[in-house]
């Protein structure tokens, strides 16, 4: 069979072709393995390639089709899995040398669900140590290169999977988002990244070890792909309660037609200076939504600076405890050590239980203010970052660098702080030969509306050129 599928095909099209017998999963996998062999040595996006196991899985998918069965909604779709998501085919390293031999006994729930739906893991995606940076580099695997410009960061922490998706070495990437770790790499690479609502998609199973409160509340697993419909399909497979994750739940679905068709545009969060290319991307997205029948209004989101500051101080307080080398039994990598030092110095972690508790208490006040806003204006359109992607290691170099990296992302980390769904997607190429992009933030469990807005933006903005 000669496959009608090319590497640039969408997840939806790949799965439909394989399920319909118009393409063989084994041929689709070979297309992606060839691209990995050709492109990954220069990009270092993927850390471990599962050539033999991927071929064997693809053969199983094809056998189901040949027998007249349905292998699932993701039949034959090649996926990459971030280094901190359990997949029994290799160690879950978290990008850290100390876990280089930590092969899990079970697949993570989301990996199992995707594999049961017919997806085929082809590789693991690179990340910084424990996902702690806004760039992707570590002592174990090295740096991931931005495929558009080598002098720009690939973003972090899901940078490996974003680059793999952008270059069609993977059709779908699995990552996670604690402080923009899906959306920032999506912006850097020109792909789509969805941060689901808190609890909608299971994270790691809790197996007798304590889990930092910020990790419980701010971090979610989510998909990266080249089209909005692709992340929507992945979400349908991934979502739902998992007995091993007490934060996960079968969430009530908020349908798009239950909400006002209104979008609030935030061009300059908290009055900050924003790069002109970023503003142009926001304007293109806003115009696209207006043409799609949305009411588009200018807004300011409430208590944004406080939300970003609390996210940062709480996160750094927990990181100092959970990533203490004395507790880990080995030091972090060089860049992770520098990031932790610089960020905690800038953030001023809480020193007392009283301060820490008061910070969490303020979260309810801020969440209520946002909820009141989103009753009238359900969707918020704004930048992922105030700046174009900066140079590699831009988030290192002392307190000033740490402050700049964090300020760029106030709107992004506010979504993490409040547990809200947020979709990052490209809005055409910029004059600097890098993709531009925006994010759409929705109300809790308002993924349907977020994705609907994303489709209307995607349909009307300039496309991102393919990367060979």
β-sheet bridge partners, residue 98: none
**Which residue, chain included where needed, has tokens 């998918």?**
61
**Angle (CA) 287 154 431, round 5°:** 45
Residue 392 has pLDDT above 90, yes or no: yes
- 166 falls within a domain: yes
Nearest to 312, CA basis, from 374, 404, 389 = 404
The 3-class secondary structure across the chain, one letter per residue, is CCCCCCCCCCHHHHHHHHHCCCCCHHHHHHHHHHHHHHHHHHHCCEEEECHHHHHHHHHHHHHHHHCCCCCCCCCCCEEEEECCCCCCCCCCCCCCHHHCCCCCCCCCHHHHHHHHCCCEEEEEECCCHHHCCCCCCCCCCCCCCCCCCCCCCCCCCCHHHHHHHHCCCCCEEEEEECCCCCHHHHHHHCCEEEECCCCCCCCCCCCCCCCCHHHHHHCEEEEEECCHHHHHHHHHHHCCCECCECCCCCCCCCCHHHCCCEEEECCCHHHCCCCHHHHHHHHHHHHHHHHCCCEEEECCCCCHHHHHHHHHHHHHHHHHHHCCHHHHCCCCCHHHHHHHHHHHHHHCCCCCHHHHHHHHHHHHHHHHHHHHHHHHCCEEEECCCCCCCCCCCCCCCCHHHHHHHHHCCHHHHHHHHHCCCEEEEEEEECCCCCEEEEEEECCCCCHHHHHHHHHHHHHHCCCCCCCC
The token pair at 290 is 């207006």
Residue 289 has pLDDT above 80, yes or no: yes
- 249 falls within a domain: yes
Give percent above pLDDT 90 in the chain.
Answer: 95
- 2 falls within a domain: no
Return the pLDDT at 141.
98
| Across 226-240, average pLDDT | 98
Rounded-to-integer distance, Cα 133 and Cα 414, Å: 17
The four Cα atoms 427, 190, 381, 404 give a dihedral, to 10 degrees, of -120
Rounded-to-integer distance, Cα 28 and Cα 54, Å: 11
Rounded-to-integer distance, Cα 168 and Cα 283, Å: 28
- The domain total for the chain is 1
| Across 15-31, average pLDDT | 98
Residue 1 has pLDDT above 60, yes or no: no
Would the pTM of this model clear 0.85, i.e. be above it?
A: yes
CATH of the domain at 223: 3.90.1300.10
Question: Of these residues, 3, 82, 288, 343, which one is catalytic?
Answer: 82
- 1 falls within a domain: no
**Which residue, chain included where needed, has tokens 């531009």?**
436
In this structure, are residues 323 and 340 in contact, taking their beta carbons and an 8 Å threshold? yes
Residue 443 has pLDDT above 60, yes or no: yes
- 182 falls within a domain: yes
Rounded-to-integer distance, Cα 256 and Cα 455, Å: 13
Q: Which residues contact 150 (CB under 8 A, 6 or more apart)?
A: none
Please measure the distance between the N-terminal and C-terminal CA atoms of the chain and give it in whole angstroms. Answer: 24
User: Using 50, 70 and 90 to split pLDDT, how confident is the model at 205?
Assistant: confident
Max CA separation in the chain (angstroms)? 66
pLDDT tens across 100-127, in order?
Answer: 999 999 999 999 999 999 999 999 999 9
- 276 assigned to active site: no
Residue 423 has pLDDT above 80, yes or no: yes
The token pair at 385 is 């970052």
- 312 falls within a domain: yes
| CB neighbours of residue 36 within 10 Å | 26
Q: Which residues contact 224 (CB under 8 A, 6 or more apart)?
A: 158, 161, 162, 165, 172, 173, 174, 175, 182, 185, 186, 191, 192, 193, 194, 231
- 72 falls within a domain: yes
| Across 430-443, average pLDDT | 98
Burial letters for 279-289: b for 16+ Cβ neighbours within 10 Å, e otherwise? eebbebbbebb
In this structure, are residues 124 and 46 in contact, taking their beta carbons and an 8 Å threshold? yes
pLDDT tens across 208-223, in order?
Answer: 889 999 999 999 999 9
Return the pLDDT at 281.
98
Enclosing domain of residue 110:
11-460
pLDDT tens across 295-333, in order?
Answer: 999 999 999 999 999 999 999 999 999 998 888 989 999
Parallel/antiparallel/unpaired status of strands 435-441 and 422-429:
antiparallel
pLDDT tens across 393-407, in order?
Answer: 999 999 999 999 999
User: Using 50, 70 and 90 to split pLDDT, how confident is the model at 2?
Assistant: low
Return the pLDDT at 326.
84
Q: Which residues contact 373 (CB under 8 A, 6 or more apart)?
A: 264, 299, 301, 302
- 399 assigned to active site: no
- 193 falls within a domain: yes
Nearest to 445, CA basis, from 176, 239, 216, 302 = 239
Question: Of these residues, 10, 181, 197, 315, which one is catalytic?
Answer: 181
- 181 assigned to active site: yes
In this structure, are residues 267 and 298 in contact, taking their beta carbons and an 8 Å threshold? yes
| Across 340-348, average pLDDT | 92
Question: Of these residues, 3, 10, 90, 157, which one is catalytic?
Answer: 157
């Amino acid at each position: 069979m000669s496959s009608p599928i090319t590497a640039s095909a969408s997840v939806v099209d790949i799965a439909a072709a394989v399920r319909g017998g118009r393409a063989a999963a084994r041929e689709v996998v070979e297309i992606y393995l060839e691209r990995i062999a050709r492109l990954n040595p220069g990009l270092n996006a993927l850390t471990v390639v599962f050539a033999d196991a991927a071929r064997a899985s693809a053969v199983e998918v094809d056998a189901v089709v040949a027998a007249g069965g349905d292998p699932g909604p993701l039949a034959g779709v090649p996926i990459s899995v971030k280094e901190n998501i359990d997949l029994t085919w290799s160690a879950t390293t978290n990008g850290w040398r100390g876990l280089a031999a930590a092969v899990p006994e079970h697949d993570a729930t989301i990996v199992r669900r995707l594999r049961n739906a017919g997806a085929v893991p082809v590789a693991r995606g690179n990340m910084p140590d424990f996902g702690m940076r806004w760039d992707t580099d570590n002592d174990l695997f090295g740096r991931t290169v931005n495929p558009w410009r080598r002098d720009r960061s690939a973003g972090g922490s899901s940078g490996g999977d974003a680059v793999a998706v952008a270059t069609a070495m993977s059709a779908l990437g699995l990552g996670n988002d604690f402080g923009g770790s899906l959306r920032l790499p999506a912006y850097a690479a020109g792909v789509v990244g969805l941060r689901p609502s808190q609890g909608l998609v299971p994270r790691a199973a809790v197996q007798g070890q304590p889990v930092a409160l910020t990790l419980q509340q701010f971090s979610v697993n989510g998909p990266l792909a080249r089209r909005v419909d692709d992340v929507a399909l992945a979400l349908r497979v991934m979502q739902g309660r998992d007995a091993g994750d007490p934060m996960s739940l079968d969430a009530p679905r908020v349908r798009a037609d239950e909400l006002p068709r209104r979008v609030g545009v935030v061009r300059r969060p908290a009055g900050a200076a924003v790069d002109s290319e970023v503003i142009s991307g926001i304007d293109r997205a806003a115009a696209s939504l207006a043409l799609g029948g949305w009411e588009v209004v200018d807004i300011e989101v409430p208590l944004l600076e406080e939300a970003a500051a609390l996210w940062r101080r709480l996160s750094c307080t927990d990181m100092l405890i959970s990533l203490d080398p004395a507790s880990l039994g080995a030091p972090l990598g060089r860049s992770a050590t520098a990031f932790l030092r610089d960020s905690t110095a800038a953030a001023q972690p809480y020193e007392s239980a009283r301060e820490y508790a008061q910070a969490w208490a303020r979260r309810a006040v801020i969440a209520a203010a946002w909820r009141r806003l989103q009753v009238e204006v359900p969707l918020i359109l704004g930048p992922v970052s105030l700046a174009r992607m900066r140079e590699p290691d831009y988030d290192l170099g002392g307190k000033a660098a740490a402050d700049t990296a964090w300020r760029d992302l106030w709107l992004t980390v506010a979504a993490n702080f409040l547990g809200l769904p947020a979709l990052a997607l490209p809005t055409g190429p910029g004059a600097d030969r890098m993709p531009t992009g925006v994010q759409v933030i929705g109300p809790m469990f308002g993924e349907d509306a977020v994705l609907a807005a994303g489709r209307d933006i995607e349909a009307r903005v300039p496309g991102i050129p393919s990367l060979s």
